Amino acid sequence: MLYKSLTLLLVATIATQTYALTGSQVIEIVAGMMDGVIHKDDLAELQACMQGADQLTDEFDTAVSDFEQGGITGYTSAIEVVAQIINQLPQDLNQCTSIDGDLSKLGDWAKIFLQPTVLLERVSYNLLVHFSEINGDIQTALTDYKSQQFFNFGEVMGEALVLATQE
């Protein structure tokens, strides 16, 4: 009986552990997010030029945890963390000269993240109006994350972020 209880406890512990991201997985997520926002797959280019991905692992873990919390509060917190990530990207991508045009498009979209008050108003409004669609995207993305399909996770997150930040 003790053996069964210990085995069950071990399995439950393993099942609830969060997955620790690596820098290369962060690059896949960022490439997926770019694809979700600007509809261009730059994974190969980012793998060659992105720097500092290892420093973003904790932020992505926090964002995933907030998205898993769910609801408007969890999603708003997660989007705030994603805003921090997006604001860090310019220095991480400054060596990516071969995709300057794509980065410019991403930067144009990401300007909203430099205006926290406007961002919060927009996200709050869009979460109320489009909650079902955004929630569906986030649930799909979380399934991709748990399946370690990080590019797909990023892509669907990018699509959800576009919907959450639209005017």
Question: What is the predicted pLDDT for the residue at 11?
Answer: 36
Confidence of residue 18 (pLDDT cuts 50, 70, 90): low
Residue 144 lies in a domain: yes
Task: Summarize the confidence of residues 92-111 as an average pLDDT.
Answer: 93
Question: What is the predicted pLDDT for the residue at 87?
Answer: 87
Q: Total domain count for the chain?
A: 1
What is the C-alpha to C-alpha distance for residues 104 and 99, in angstroms, rounded to an integer? 9
Question: What does the pLDDT look like over 67-101, one tens digit per residue?
Answer: 999 888 998 899 889 988 988 888 999 999 999 99
Is residue 50 predicted with pLDDT exceeding 70? yes
Residue 148 lies in a domain: yes
Residue 4 lies in a domain: no
Question: What is the predicted pLDDT for the residue at 83?
Answer: 87
Share of the chain above pLDDT 90, in %: 71
CA distances from 104 to 55, 100, 101, 107, 109 (A): 23, 6, 5, 5, 9
What is the C-alpha to C-alpha distance for residues 36 and 137, in angstroms, rounded to an integer? 11
Task: Summarize the confidence of residues 15-25 as an average pLDDT.
Answer: 70
Query: Percentages helix, strand, coil for the chain, rounded to the nearest 5?
Result: 85, 0, 15
Look up the domain containing 152 and give its range.
22-165
Task: Summarize the confidence of residues 148-158 as an average pLDDT.
Answer: 96
Residue 11 lies in a domain: no
Question: What is the predicted pLDDT for the residue at 166?
Answer: 94
- Lowest mean pLDDT: which of 84-88, 130-134, 139-143? 84-88
Residue 67 lies in a domain: yes
Residue 7 lies in a domain: no
Confidence of residue 102 (pLDDT cuts 50, 70, 90): very high
> What are the backbone dihedrals phi and psi of residue 159, each rounded to the nearest 5 degrees, phi first?
-65, -40
Q: pTM for the full model?
A: 0.85
